[in-house]
Structure 1
Amino acid sequence: MLRKLHGLPGLVAALLLVVLATSGAVLSIVPALERSASIVPAAGELNAAELAGRVLEHYPDTEQISRSLSGEVVVYYSRNGQPGADKVNPLTGEGVAPYQPAAWLRWVKNLHRSFLFDDTGRVLAGILAALMVLICLSGMFLLARRLGGWKSVLRPISGSGSPRIHAELARFAIIGLLLSALTGTYMSAIRFGLLPEGANTEPSFPAQVSGGTPAPADSLSALKSVDVNELRELVFPYPDDPKDVYSLSTTRGSGFIDQSTGELLQYESRSAGNQFQHWMVRLHTGEGLWWLGLILGIAALTVPALSFTGLQIWWKRRSSAVHLGKNAPVDAADVVVLVGSESNSTWGFAKDLKDKLNQAGKKVYCAPMNDLAECYPQASVLFVLTSTYGDGDAPSSASQFMTRLESFKANDGLEFVVLGFGDRQFPKFCQYAQDVDAALCKKGLKQMQPVTRINCGSAQQFREWGESISEHMGISLELTHNPAPAVAFGFKLIERVDYGVAVNAPTTILRFKPVQDNTGFLQRLMVRNRKNLPDFEAGDLLGVAPPGDHAARFYSLASSATDGVLEICVRKQTNGLCSGYLHSLEPGDRIRGFIQKNPGFRPAGGATPIILVGAGAGIGPLAGFIRKNTERNPMYLYWGGRNRQSDFLYQPELGRYLNDQRLTRLNTAFSRSSEQAYVQDAIIADEIALQQLVMKGAQVLVCGGRDMAAGVKQVFESILKPLGLDVETLKTNGRYLEDVY
């Protein structure tokens, strides 16, 4: 409902809102231009009497002096029987330039106020201002929901493309847009009698005037008491009429002045309602508040971009529904895939899962979570793939799932598995997926495996999840969906360092430089302009497809783009097609590959102690993390290899890192040596020190083979137990991260 309140008004009125905002942005610079061209005396420097006297020296037939809130002073006069108007310098009374409102400015004002259609246009402008209030308020709530609550509205916004641009612009401009919309709505409501106008009793013409000889204007006591910055208008009496009076208007009120005695007559202060209305106009126009006008103008300039990105988001949501192909009948399906998605991105993963299950001979029924049936009589497995919206809420296609689950009847033997999608930076990362998992367990369904959480649509984590499902189901599931197709780059091998040949575990560190090739304008432009690699960090992934095979393999990066090289550490696998291809490369050879971000595997910043755990080639990204630790924060490495003499990977670099204190301590274990130890043994030997680090808030990062990671997890469970903690708790808090293969 909230999304509709935000989106529908914007879709209906997008073009007119752009016109309203653009014209408003143009008008917003007028107060600043007027202020920059005006001479504004300091408070107390000049009073209205002095101003009148100086103006009269240069304009003896002055009829009126007016001063705008921006400080522009205009004198209206008669000369040789012809009326005139000049801008004047208030300090001297001299004319500065003829005063004539610009025709283009009048046109823009009419466009902004009424779309050039008089009262009909004013009504339309008022309705659009009210719609803008609705759009702003609903947008604020949507933004808060997306970022995890009001306390998180200033946190960094994840994602890319139109959704992120829209959210960033909205957060930047929302206060200014809301202020303009509210004040514009108020002014329209006043104009058409929907709200009472601020009452202001105009003073009646004085019944008694002295009628004496007129005194010089600069001697009148009532004018002397008015600071020029408070003056709005001073109308002079008719010449040769001693019974006429000065008419005075200030920011505080209005009245009349006896031209002979200088006495203030029939003065009326502005009412509170009138003052409020006056300030609402100022807040809308920026008149007298030139800096606010510029802020409102900048905010208004975001409306065209917000309209464009909003339309893009709407169109993408409308057109990006994944075509799932033929579904098995509900009653005949042996596997059911239910999807909870807010922006359709989860459907891409669901389609890949469905296609691979079909290839494995399974009859699959795939549908939104809101379409949960009362039962699936033939199904043996229920997959639930769901994102989380905002602060732990259900996405749109799962909003009715929990209600429908109450009447769901599971057949005997039905297992379920929940896969959550989200962003780890949010406090309630994949919270809805966890809620669904708990609800299915409470319903009595058998859990195939604990809920898995995918961070930022990671293709690698999705693939690894598929491998674990394959083991449970006894089928092959090579999941390959990547929500952000990567741009391939050309790389030339410039250096290789070989280890492990003596112990039959050849492992090589490969370092590449980008090269220009015929792969397209985008890469050539990036290499030419950046003169280095595309953006990446240690822990991100390099995707490489070996010749004759279109399926990419992923290798963790051991370097960052700022290092100037792309570095990976690869162990040659028996019959490994891609690892064999990479090991066959010689300096000067070229490959093609692409970068895939892996933000879920990063060390925490600041002084947080970091515990790095790896074995074999898993040391690659860990070495990259240490290399970037230029602030010398506490960092501890536990690493296991086979033989100290033949495959001590990164030994020279680690020695340098210890010497310059980028690495606090190094603990190693070698299985094919006299010690016959594994990395788990090194961890157990340091149990007390590790417990102390964990109590200080340490973060654990594990990289390497799946079996090693399982053993390390088991060891950490025993270390954490006396502290009243477990690995799952650390994972929930982002303090135990894994990159396994």
Structure 2
Amino acid sequence: MIRRLHRWPGLAAFAMLALLALSGAALSVFPAAEKLASLQANPAASVAEVAARIQATLPGVEQIKRSPSGRITAYWFDNGTPGSAIVDPATGQAFGSADPNQVERWLTTLHRSLFLDDTGRLVSAAGAAAMLLLSVSGILLVARRAGGWRRWLSPVRGPLAGRIHVELARGAVLGLLLSSMTALWMTASTFGFLPDQPASMEQPVTSGSSGAAVASMPLLATTPIDDLRELTFPYPDDLSDVFTLKTDRGTGYVDQGTGDTLGWADLSVWQRATETVYMLHTGRGASLLGLLLGVMALAVPAMGATGVIVWYAARRGRPSIKTNAPPSTADLVILVGSEGGSTWGFAATLHAALSRAGRRVHVAPMSAFAPDRTPAARQYLVLTATYGDGDAPSSAKGFLDRLAGLPALQAAPIAVLGFGDRSFPRFCAYAQMVEASLQARGWSVLLPLDTVDRQSAQEFARWGRTLGEALGISLELDHRAVAPATTSLTLVSRRDYGEDVQAPTAILRFAIPRIGIWQRLSGQGFARFEAGDLLGIVPEGSSIPRFYSLASGSKDGFVEIVVRRHVGGMCSSRLTTLEPGQSASAFLRRNPGFHPGRNRRPLILIGAGTGIGPLAGFIRANAKRRPIHLYFGLRHRDSDLLYGDELVIWRADGRLLKLKTASSRADRPRHVQDAIAAEGTVFAAAIRSGAQVMVCGGRDMAAGVAATISGILEPLGMSTERLKEEGRYVEDVY
């Protein structure tokens, strides 16, 4: 519900909000510029002193105004001709034109009413209401995405556009909340919905005379010039008229003949509140705050653009289900947790088969789980992948929190199907967490937890037949994976290692393909990538892609991977026989969970074999000379010291602070965890200073490394589990 409240108003009002934000940001500059250009009065001076000086130089003065910036403007008539000028409060002399800035006036009209008078004011108010709704819903969504209010400021993962969207929101949301609420208040005041009109006073009884000196009037003499807003002189030859003084505290009347104060009216609470709101919104009287709010407003167009990109990418990442039943009438609901989009394909196949069997089926992301919107549902099916080390995939964010927050148990039974790769140590771990949480909440089980390994269509069909029996229908699931869109990559160079130790390995460097304008703007395809992201290659005769961690980023100007040839491996055999000039079809998948933190704290990189690929990319990109320690396990230095020449260069230029290798086939065999154990004191010191640990390679190696590090951390009262929770221990294992 919150996501929909955030998405649709944002998409619908994007252009309007961008226009209001940009015009508001431009207007925020004028109060500061005016303050810098204004001659400031002596704070000790009184209204009487300044008014007397102006009256002496401009005998026909009728009104004096002081703006929140301190600029004082005088208005007069000279032989029936009106005049105005900015005056120097120290001398009373006019020195500048008081004509309003035409650009500022144009921007103000655009911002307040879109040149449509009252109708435009209401449209602008609707934009402010949309901004308020987006700010509140955005705060809630960031908290849910981060895992709670305590982690609201924690780093986020995901595609670049999504990360930019969240980071801009964090920086600007308080200012946007303030701007939108004050805009709505000002609109309500303009249309008379607030009781902030000045209180009426009886016409003061005057002496019927004139001639009192301005400098001798007690009310004017005791009012500091900084409190002045407006002083209006009596109309010439009208003995019943009075001096009218408006200040920050209220309005007073002075007899022009005696100088006595005839009456005073304090500002009401509502008036003070409205004037404070005006100051906060416009920056008039608080120019630095206005500039800050203007800078925050500049985030709105960028957030709108990144929001559109995120929405469009989400739509592209899932199949279009034209016959998707409305949630209110569906009798079966399929909830999908997907990171790369493949699980959506299985959900589409299941939806089609169930629909053919006569069921009304609604498919939705797990993040949109809301049983109150599906009152007719008789069964729920959860199809979910697992991200990283047991985390929720992107379309399942917040599902467990929603489940825990349900006020009552649901009668409809549920079944969970997990998707993953058994070669990973935490195969379908998130699906297991979902199943356990459902059982803990007392949900009835339609089917026990089942899994699908490596997108196996056969395993999916088997589960479908079991599901059909539970539903009392015949269900045949013939899933045909949609091949991902690929790009041809041309090999430009290769370096071979490991033949002497029966581990043939190649560092393959491809040219970055030609990138279109839209790809550059949106960051799609190979327009923007980092070391640690994944290069997907679908071998001939298979629909299942193989993924290789990138050893380069787009700023390096090439695409690089490290591949070891496996006996019988369709993909590795093909890649390791490529020659420069030949091509391979590939696609890119982001892997933000395996990127170094963006700080200056030490970085500990641990890898073995081809696992050095992304680690080498991190070192290559270390232009800021962050302290990096590399622990690298290999078979023999003379045969498979991958990136050996570069490691020497990187150490010399400061990109790599320390290198420790462990050779399993040397005269004194060691594994990478042995190299870590030998430096336990140094390793512990780095952890105490806030270091991040990144491990890449085989799962057996990773398990041995984790055990060794646990032994080092235990005396410190720390653990790898705690570091993982803090985002300081991440793995990319296979």
Task: Please give the TM-score of this superposition, normalised by the length of structure 2.
Answer: 0.70
* Counterpart AA for 2:345: K
Distance 1:695 1:499 in 2: 33
- Aligned 1:170-185 pairs, distance under 5 A: 170-185=169-184
Query: 2:6·2:134 contact (CA, 8 Å) conserved in 1?
Result: yes
Cα offset for 1:183?
2.3
1:639 equivalent in alignment to 2:637: no
Cα offset for 1:393?
2.5
Query: 2:176·2:296 contact (CA, 8 Å) conserved in 1?
Result: yes
1:662 equivalent in structure 2 = 657
1:39 equivalent in structure 2 = 39
Query: 1:68·1:232 contact (CA, 8 Å) conserved in 2?
Result: yes
Query: 311-320 or 282-291: which moved more?
Result: 311-320
1:573 equivalent in structure 2 = 566
Question: Alpha carbons of 1:653 and 1:357: their partners in 2 closer, same or farther (altered >3 Å)?
Answer: farther
- Aligned 1:247-646 pairs, distance under 5 A: 247-259=244-256, 262-300=259-297, 321-323=318-320, 338-341=334-337, 348-351=342-345, 383-385=383-385, 387=392, 393-394=398-399, 407-408=412-413, 417=418, 434-440=433-439, 489-493=489-493, 496=495, 498-510=496-508, 512=509, 514=511, 519=514, 521=516, 536-543=529-536, 553-558=546-551, 567-584=560-577, 596-602=589-595, 610=604, 612-614=606-608, 616-624=609-617, 633=627, 635=629, 637=631, 639-641=633-635, 643=636, 645-646=638-639
Question: Alpha carbons of 1:246 and 1:430: their partners in 2 closer, same or farther (altered >3 Å)?
Answer: farther
Distance 1:440 1:314 in 2: 33
Cα offset for 1:231?
1.8
* Counterpart AA for 1:350: W
SS in 1 for 2:593: coil
SS in 2 for 1:600: helix
Cα offset for 1:65?
1.9
SS in 2 for 1:136: helix
Distance 2:529 2:38 in 1: 52
SS in 2 for 1:181: helix
* Counterpart AA for 2:336: G
Distance 1:389 1:591 in 2: 29
Cα offset for 1:397?
11
Superposed CA deviations along residues 532-553 of structure 1, whole A, max 9, x for unmatched, are x975544444455779999764
Query: 2:651·2:658 contact (CA, 8 Å) conserved in 1?
Result: yes
Distance 1:102 1:617 in 2: 65
Distance 1:709 1:268 in 2: 77
Task: Please give the TM-score of this superposition, normalised by the length of structure 1.
Answer: 0.70
* Counterpart AA for 1:393: G
1:529 equivalent in structure 2 = none
Q: Percent identity?
A: 36
Superposed CA deviations along residues 490-530 of structure 1, whole A, max 9, x for unmatched, are 4521x62x4333444333444x3747x7x45569999xxxx
Query: 50-59 or 297-306: which moved more?
Result: 297-306
Question: Alpha carbons of 1:478 and 1:736: their partners in 2 closer, same or farther (altered >3 Å)?
Answer: farther
2:135 equivalent in structure 1 = 136
SS in 2 for 1:283: helix
* Counterpart AA for 2:84: A
SS in 1 for 2:55: helix
Question: Alpha carbons of 1:490 and 1:506: their partners in 2 closer, same or farther (altered >3 Å)?
Answer: closer
Cα offset for 1:190?
3.8
1:52 equivalent in structure 2 = 51
* Counterpart AA for 1:679: H
Superposed CA deviations along residues 615-670 of structure 1, whole A, max 9, x for unmatched, are x43344445556677858473625242x5654455566667888987335433211
Distance 1:354 1:6 in 2: 26
Cα offset for 1:176?
3.0
Q: Pairwise CA RMSD of aligned residues?
A: 5.7
1:739 equivalent in alignment to 2:716: no
Cα offset for 1:175?
2.7
Query: 51-60 or 4-13: which moved more?
Result: 4-13
SS in 1 for 2:399: coil
Cα offset for 1:92?
3.2
Cα offset for 1:62?
1.9
Question: Alpha carbons of 1:626 and 1:482: their partners in 2 closer, same or farther (altered >3 Å)?
Answer: farther
Question: Alpha carbons of 1:645 and 1:256: their partners in 2 closer, same or farther (altered >3 Å)?
Answer: closer
Superposed CA deviations along residues 181-234 of structure 1, whole A, max 9, x for unmatched, are 32233234345554322664647525557x57543x445554343333322222
SS in 2 for 1:64: strand
1:145 equivalent in structure 2 = 144
Query: 2:497·2:642 contact (CA, 8 Å) conserved in 1?
Result: yes
Query: 61-70 or 347-356: which moved more?
Result: 347-356
SS in 2 for 1:50: helix
Query: 1:609·1:693 contact (CA, 8 Å) conserved in 2?
Result: no
Larger radius of gyration: 1
Distance 2:269 2:129 in 1: 25
Distance 1:289 1:248 in 2: 23
Query: 2:481·2:543 contact (CA, 8 Å) conserved in 1?
Result: no
Superposed CA deviations along residues 287-321 of structure 1, whole A, max 9, x for unmatched, are 23334444444555555665666667667767875
Question: Alpha carbons of 1:258 and 1:291: their partners in 2 closer, same or farther (altered >3 Å)?
Answer: same
Distance 2:558 2:318 in 1: 39
* Counterpart AA for 1:255: G
Question: Alpha carbons of 1:658 and 1:55: their partners in 2 closer, same or farther (altered >3 Å)?
Answer: closer
2:64 equivalent in structure 1 = 65
Distance 1:279 1:681 in 2: 63
Distance 2:606 2:479 in 1: 29
Question: Alpha carbons of 1:488 and 1:168: their partners in 2 closer, same or farther (altered >3 Å)?
Answer: farther
1:205 equivalent in structure 2 = 204
Cα offset for 1:240?
6.2
SS in 2 for 1:39: coil
Distance 1:374 1:243 in 2: 83
Query: 2:602·2:626 contact (CA, 8 Å) conserved in 1?
Result: no
Distance 2:362 2:230 in 1: 74
Superposed CA deviations along residues 588-614 of structure 1, whole A, max 9, x for unmatched, are 777676654433335666656736242
Query: 2:318·2:345 contact (CA, 8 Å) conserved in 1?
Result: no
1:225 equivalent in structure 2 = 222
1:530 equivalent in structure 2 = none
2:471 equivalent in structure 1 = none
SS in 1 for 2:188: helix
Cα offset for 1:281?
2.5
SS in 2 for 1:275: helix
1:679 equivalent in structure 2 = 671
1:456 equivalent in structure 2 = none
